[in-house]
Structure 1
Amino acid sequence: MKKIYLSLFLVLTWLKGFSAGEIAFVSFQSDDPDSFSWVALVPIPAGTTILFTDNGWNGTAFRTSEGVLTWTAPAGGVPGGTVVTITGGATASTGTVTSSGTYALSTAGDQLFAFKGTLASPTFIAGINFGGTGWDDTAASTNSTALPATLTNGSNAVAVGNQDNGRFNCSDGSVMGNISTIGSTINTTTNWTTNAEILSPAVSACTYTSSSLPVRLISFKSESQSAAIELTWQTGEEINNSHFEIERSSNAQNFEAIGRVIGNGSSTTKQIYSYVDVSPKTGLNYYRLKQVDLDGQFEYSRIVSARLTGLGLFKAYPNPVVGMLTIELPAESAIESAYLIDLTGRRVREFSDYRPSLEGVENGLYTLQVKTKDGQTFQQRVLKIN
């Protein structure tokens, strides 16, 4: 077992699942014996499983004609910085591995993805493509793959070109920065050495030093409103947090900044933030947060998405409202449930009619959330006054 000593001053909680970029591929070998290696950039608890596959991604689903490996963390877990090598789909240098289907890395080019969930519903963690000059538009064969929308080339995925064998080339013997910086360094194509012959060593010896992250993000959610999309997020701890930049994309790959929310500097208590995109694009919108520290360092959040439904056909009025509120829905929709939610997330009023009374509700800003019987959800900010 090879070790990379990783100084992590922030202990991340894995019980809620993985985020993209929390592991990274650092080598592959398609010459016999097939093998690949990955590094844990955060501690992994005992019993945690990660799935790996050489199936290609066609843009919406896996091309399920190849194999799946299931790796399980050993008793005691895996420290951040451990490199795990899986050989032949049967043995792992740390933990255990089982296989299903037909797993074999092709010398004509292939790919590897790390994910949670199932083949039918994956949550991607990392990816590497060594089957061509770059990521493809689809998975037309076993040697091609598209880049999943929730992965970003150069951040948590890399395309290294069509070669039999390759490794991340840690030329200076160390990489420093936060997890995002380390991931970007590993997933930069020019930082890889590839060859038609087996490389020795297969994995570069490297020391990774990760600075503590300035913000611990508890949650990040997106909700469609009638003609806008609201983003909400919570932090559990902040250290020198300057601000959040809100970035939007139509393809989950090319992002643009659309707004900024000032942070709370340093805090040890829960902080709640929100931002409303009043001009979302038609169709599915992807969002991520760029958290910027006071010294300019930054970290990206996971990507969330939301689609506008019933654009312009839902409204609640008058707004501000004194007593009676009127709700209008698309003609084919009917209310299943509706809630008035305060800024702490507490439901202060529940109703199912189209003209609810807000008598007795304290003055303030609320979110009206309406769920319809055909599965749609609408939201709108409502100001209650006397």
Structure 2
Amino acid sequence: MKKISLIAALLLSSQANAALNAGDIMFTSFNADEDGLSFVTFVDIAANTTIYFSDNEWTGSAFNTGESFNQWVSSSVVTAGTVVRFADYDKATLNASTGTLSRATVSGSSNWGISNSGETVYAYLGSSASSATTFLTAITNGTFATDGSLTDTGLTAGVNAMQLTSKAGASSNPDYAEYNGVRDGLSNFTDYKAQVANVNNWNVDTVNNSASAALIPNTTAFTVAVVTPVPEADSVAMLLAGLGVLALVRRRQSL
């Protein structure tokens, strides 16, 4: 029993510490007026994992400068389905609903706020804030053609990155957007990725310069449906046969 428990613990540990990949987290809200963001994780994030966030434009090979680099560190394991909210992104002290969000020191960093036009925010792993190794997701209230590239990031708009202006009727420079699709009932967390990546499942500003600073994003966790396994026909037949044999033995013993 101890060996089995140890093996189970090792398996769980290896899963929790598995490397993050593109689409394992995705943004669920964008608020340029409040200077806030939120994201959902579709996998368990190991304790002490560092994810970088930057609104500097990616050029296809590197980040430019002049805007912000921030880092978020998970203080404990963050379970799949958790929504993490960032607030006060432009303040000296940043806030995160889970883990710790802080400034990353990079030469040339400034302009800490989230712009209400032509702004792209990337989430990524890296050897440092300015040296991305694995892009996880991105969101823009402009376009990926002009306001920050997806070239050589491994990300694709509508798959694991969101271009908010792609939604019909959206403002050309939306201040605010939030995912308003399903958060429960799907069979696994992977199924939610397509839902979040589809901008038609988002509430996106239809006018420029909306007053959205007071809006609080939905941080309800995503959950998967609990499926009760149905015994296979062969298993049921074997069970019935076993019960029949048991009944026959007891009958003979009573004679």
TM-score grouping bracket, smaller chain normalisation:
0.5 to 0.7
Flag the structure with higher strand content.
1
**Equivalent residue of 2:177, what SS?**
strand
- 1:109 maps to a residue whose letter is G
Aligned pair count?
192
CA deviation string 1:81-133 (max 9, x = no partner): 111111123111111111133221011231111100132343101111112xx
Label 1:211 to 1:151 Cα distance change in 2 as closer, same or farther (>3 A).
farther
Alignment correspondent of 2:22: 20
- Structure 1 residue 82 corresponds to structure 2 residue 82: yes
The Cα of 1:169 is off from its aligned counterpart by: 1.1
For residue 147 of structure 1, the aligned residue among 138, 145, 150 is: 150
Q: Shift in Å at residue 205 of structure 1? A: 4.0
Cα distance, 1:55–1:122 mapped onto 2, change above 3 Å: farther
Q: 1:188 aligns with which of 190, 193, 198?
A: 198
Cα separation, 2, equivalents of 1:72 and 1:65: 23
Counterpart-to-counterpart distance in 1, 2:220 and 2:59? 35
Which whole-Å CA distance do the structure 2 matches of 1:48 and 1:210 have between them? Answer: 28
Distance 1:164 1:43, change over 3 A: same
Structure 2 CA distance for aligned equivalents of residues 189 and 175 of structure 1: 20
Deviation at 1:135, TM superposition (A): 1.9
1:186 partner SS = helix
The structure-2 alpha-carbon separation of the partners of 1:80 and 1:180, relative to structure 1 and needing over 3 Å to count, comes to: closer
Q: Once the 2 structures are TM-superposed, how far is the Cα of residue 22 of structure 1 from its aligned partner?
A: 0.8
Aligned to 1:115: 124
Tell me whether 1:202 sits opposite 2:251 in the alignment. Answer: no
- What is the CA RMSD across the aligned residues, in angstroms? 2.5
Which residue type is aligned with residue 163 of structure 1? Answer: P
Q: Which amino acid in 1 is paired with 2:217? A: A
Q: Can you give the 5+ residue segments of structure 2 that lack an aligned partner in the other structure?
A: 1-10, 166-172, 228-255
Residue pair 2:124, 2:132 contacting (<8 A) in 1 also: no
1:158 alignment counterpart = 162
Quick check: 2:16–2:77 contact (8 Å CA) kept in 1? no
**Structure ranking higher on relative contact order (CA contacts 8 Å, 6+ apart):** 2
Contact map agreement 1:168 1:204 (CA 8 A) in 2: no
Deviation, 1:182, is: 1.1
Gaps of 5+ in 1: 1-9, 139-143, 213-386
Q: Aligned letter for 1:59?
A: G
Runs of 4+ in structure 1 deviating by more than 4 angstroms, as ranges, are: none
Identity of aligned residues (%): 30
Q: TM-score by structure 1 length? A: 0.46
Which structure has greater helix proportion?
2
2:234 equivalent in structure 1: none
State the one-letter code of the partner of 2:120: Q
Distance in 2 between residues matched to 1:210 and 1:152, nearest whole Å: 28
In structure 2, distance between residues paired with 1:42 and 1:160 = 24
Contact 1:115 1:124 in 2 (8 A): yes
Aligned partner of 1:59 in structure 2 is 60
